[in-house]
Structure 1
């Protein structure tokens, strides 16, 4: 009789290890705010009657994720609660996030669009700060043999959290509204007077829209339960025993940058940075407004939540695994180039969906392809960033490069909104394909510089 443990037994055993379970919770905590501000908030504004071009500007509130490295040294120097630098900052940011979301739930995009956008910005800033603390904690608490497994489990927790704030919040909003559909009624004189370029215009709210607005408020309050889990667990975190504190802010800020630009010269460093910014640009263009795209096609929020957001989790996890296996087989650079091409090509599925119109099976297929290819791209991009980092300055350089990676995702919203408003959905996704192929061409032409800078074949 064969008593050897099965794969499922080994999988469950991982989470019985306290350190690995901690990685799951920290990854979960890190992922919770992202979809709330990147996707669900946009749909809340659409339900309140805001037009798509104006909604697209909301993507700018995520700018703190891009520039989080600017205040990272502050977290290295300051022990905010006196219980350890990492644990103290993790707890502080998690408590602030709960307060901010509770405040947001009391407002309405129709009545206070700028205030909600500002709170959304504060959520992104606090979330980015939490990411700094969590990444530092993971780096210091995991030994070399644990880092790969620990980070993989953290990504799993991160994706589960995105499902909560990207899917469950939509289901709750749909449930509390009783399935009511939004009615968009703009005051004609105001629209005529201000034009279409104003960020937000006053909107007359009918009773149906009030019901929908209240349903979103209740949904936000409900998901706070999923946020409260994090600080309750993190109260019992073990602070890393020994960490190196920078001698000065000047040292923490300057040396990682100087080394990076001196390694292979300024020109090579700049090309590398531009490639990192643009690597997932095609994927980001498709992602920035895809929730609104599906709603515009006529899919209800529950369908979007279950068939799109939940299904994307499986495609993402499979893509991460497949991407890692392919990279191990053919190498980092070849995978980096190949995945950039398939990420761009995946957006052609959305072109087909835009032409065909509302089609459930085509929507699910498009989501599967986009998230599968996007996950492979994510896996290889992280591997490339790790290769580009000098181990002497790994924390700061990784924070800088990962922040730069998010720059394209943050800034793409207004561009996507402009293209969609002038060339419709088909034009937007064709544009994303062209941009992705241009990035692939740059990667190919810069292959020698990339290999030298990252010390890879």
Structure 2
């Protein structure tokens, strides 16, 4: 359980650095909302990580073990990319910055593949899932307090986002050392698939070729149709992105099957042999969709839309809010033991839906509607506030509702993902499921940027409630399968 807490921290640290912390950097550098929204697509690797997860299931780095070896390697690479980003400026060199952020997301997604598999391998009994999920969320949110909360205070204090990213690189380097020295090997029961290593690499190369071909075909066909990717119309730009992904993914799948990428093919066949496998994937996409839509532009909304400064956002949203998420996660884990998976998903999903109305109220009523309290300057060694800052009471109420319910929903959601994994293909199965879970968070980002400029913030948050409804309905519709999943023997033991 202690190692699950640590790996949750390591997993959460880089996420905000390609998400809300990066949004704050882009916002203070003066980039427009639509561009910030499109840069959310650097998180695309989170939705495709199941494509290279089979290599992490199949190959074992020498001396370190299959899970621990990949964990150390990805963490060292993350530290290197963060050092690189600390020397870049999004305003002066947006292209290089975006490529570095994409590399950071790729390595972060790869680390998540290892950590999710490692956690699922360690927890052999379903009775451990609630506590394990709570500790994972606890560590994850602790890291996001640092990278998504304290980082904003550091940026305000130092007037330097590059310096913040340099500090995060050092922290990730320390995490790699801790993983190397303290992380235990998993049980010998978890064995990689016995297949031809060269065949696996050929299959992976064929899959990548399918991605490149699909991207090129969609791009060229739209140009032949008279459209241009640099069109000032943001909807045209969005069409290019959606079409390129829509064509690339099936061609990647076709290439993997044609070249016999056995670990991917067998692991996916293993998952889809389960009853209701496709329906579970749809549920995973929809369950957090409204939450993801509302949260996709939270930082620009608060800084630019509502006029809060970085220190106010850092204290209220990132520090206090993340602690409330941890509180919600522990409440969720406790209630889940008594409610079971189905009732927890249904109840917590409904609470998540209601919490989005808080952002609508903030957009309509505005800053200062409920008054504010002043926070006096402080110095806690790792973080300091040099000038007094106000904390808006309405903002605090909205953040409390959103983070507590979000933490509760995340615990039930992680329990669902773990319950659907098979131990032989843990990395690929969990990567597949969590990749589908990230679809909303990543792909609503460019849409949300365009919509927020088109319909305004109040309409944007009402739409987020509408997007949350299908997920709650899907839980109710799948109640029989969810009840059976929570009552069945663990599916993660053997095939």
Structure-1-length-normalised TM-score: 0.81
Q: CA deviation at 1:449?
A: 5.1
The answer as to whether partners of 2:130 and 2:336 remain within 8 angstroms in 1 is no
Provide, for residues 292-325 of structure 1, a one-character-per-residue CA deviation record: whole Å limited to 9, x for no partner. 1110211111111111111112211121122233
Considering only aligned residues, what root-mean-square deviation do their CA atoms show, in Å? Answer: 2.3
Alignment of 1:177-326 (within 5 A): 177=159, 215-237=160-182, 238-240=184-186, 242=188, 243-248=190-195, 249=200, 250-264=261-275, 268-296=276-304, 297-326=306-335
- After TM superposition, list the pairs within 5 Å mapping 1:334-345 onto structure 2: 334-345=343-354
* Cα deviation code 1:371-430 (max 9, x no counterpart): 111111111112223333456655432332122111111111012112111111101100
Q: Which moved more, 1:66-75 or 1:249-258?
A: 249-258
Q: Which residue of 2 aligns with 1:152?
A: 134
Shift of 1:224: 2.9
Structure 1 residue 349 corresponds to structure 2 residue 352: no
Contact preservation (8 Å) 1:76, 1:246: yes
Hey, what does 2:213 align to over in structure 1? none
Q: Which residue of 2 aligns with 1:124?
A: 105
Q: 2:448 aligns with which of 416, 423, 446?
A: 416
Question: Shift in Å at residue 354 of structure 1?
Answer: 0.4
Ranges in structure 2 where 5+ consecutive residues have no aligned partner: 201-260, 369-391, 489-495
* SS of corresponding position for 2:89: coil
Counterparts of 2:133 and 2:357, CA distance in 1:
32
The residue aligned with 1:197 is none
Superposed displacement of residue 448, structure 1: 4.0
C-alpha distance 430-26 of structure 1, shift in aligned 2 (>3 A) = same
CA distance in 2, matches of 1:270, 1:325: 29
User: TM-score, structure 2 length as denominator?
Assistant: 0.75
> Of 82, 86, 108, which aligns to 2:89?
108
Counterpart CA distance in 1 for 2:192 and 2:399 is 44
Is residue 173 from structure 1 mapped to residue 155 from structure 2 by the alignment?
A: yes
Alpha-carbon offset, residue 291 of structure 1: 1.0
Equivalent pairs, count = 397
Does the CA contact (< 8 Å) of 2:120 and 2:426 recur in 1? Answer: no
1:192-219 CA-to-partner distances (Å, cap 9, x unmatched) read xxxxxxxxxxxxxxxxxxxxxxx11122
TM-superposed CA distance for 1:345, in Å, is: 1.4
Contact 1:388–1:454 (8 Å) recurs in 2: no
Change beyond 3 A, Cα 1:82–1:259: closer
Matches of 1:277 and 1:120 in 2, distance apart? 24
Which has the higher mean CA deviation after the structures are superposed, 249-258 or 327-336? 249-258
Relative to structure 1, is the Cα distance of residues 153 and 450 closer, same or farther in structure 2, using a 3 angstrom cutoff?
A: closer
